[in-house]
Amino acid sequence: MISIDLEGRTALVTGSTQGIGEAVAAKLALGGARVGINGRTPATVDAAVARVNEATFTDRCFAAPGDLATEDGAAALAAELPSVDILVNNLGIFGAEPALEIADEEWRRYFEVNVLSAVRLIRTYLPGMTAQGWGRVLNIASDSAIVIPEEMIHYGTTKTALLAVSRGFAKAAAGTGVTVNSVIAGPTHTGGVEEFVYQLVDKALPWEEAQREFMRVHRPQSLLRRLIEPEEIANLVAYLSSPLASATTGAAVRVDGGYVDSILP
């Protein structure tokens, strides 16, 4: 039987008060890791910590609040949590907007949140990982990195950049025992995605019909033909965070329901 053993490891999952991030935090805690749950609002973070600890029957999750889209916020978190063994950069924003109407400031905001938040934390934690000879960095990317969606090219572009960030830092960690990878998540069922779906389909439709209509019209490439559940993303993240994935680095690993039309990973 394959076992995910993360006993004695400390993880940080950014943007983990809901959705994919919360599911990843739960899965890592079940594997034995201490897990920092991150969000901008301490009350929201505390609620997520309580929720995940209760769901996993553990007390392994702890609060790690901070606005990581700013240098000051990242520095404050690093002061409270100076080292981690596993870093999962999940923080991200998305939304539909006509391509020609995306202002410079919105482009900057997307890069600060979706790209630079990850870069800041990798710079912070990678040296400690390489010094100890073990570590895992996972950047949660998206199918939109490869199939740029017409309705949110700013989001897709930042996720493409995140793939390059992952490959570049994997080279910086070469030969150290630290792996750096991207996880290409496909269309996933989260609260934020429900709001996004209703931006694009009839708001009067019940959720199951709206989901099917969204996949049929806006994501017809999906072979799964449904939204992915956050736990399905978390399963891959847990594996890549574990000693079992010691030979996987510099990779962009897909858990996209076959959305990306490629025979390569």
Query: Could you confirm whether 155 is annotated as catalytic?
Result: yes
Q: H or E segment at 12?
A: strand 10-13
- 110, 125, 155, 259: which is the annotated catalytic residue? 155
For residues 16 and 64, what is the distance between their CA atoms, to the nearest angstrom? 10
DSSP string, 25-71: HHHHHHTT-EEEE--S-HHHHHHHHHHHHHHHT---EEE----TTSH
DSSP class of residue 222 equals -
| Residue of 143, 178, 158, 144 whose CA lies nearest to 250 | 178
Who contacts 79 (Cβ-Cβ below 8 Å, separation ≥6)? Answer: none
Structure tokens at 148: 């740029």
Which residues contact residue 37 at a Cβ distance below 8 angstroms, ignoring those fewer than 6 apart?
A: 13, 16, 17, 21, 22, 25, 45, 48, 49, 52, 61, 62, 63, 64
Using alpha carbons only, give the angle 93, 102, 186 rounded to the nearest 5 degrees: 35
Catalytic residue numbers read 155
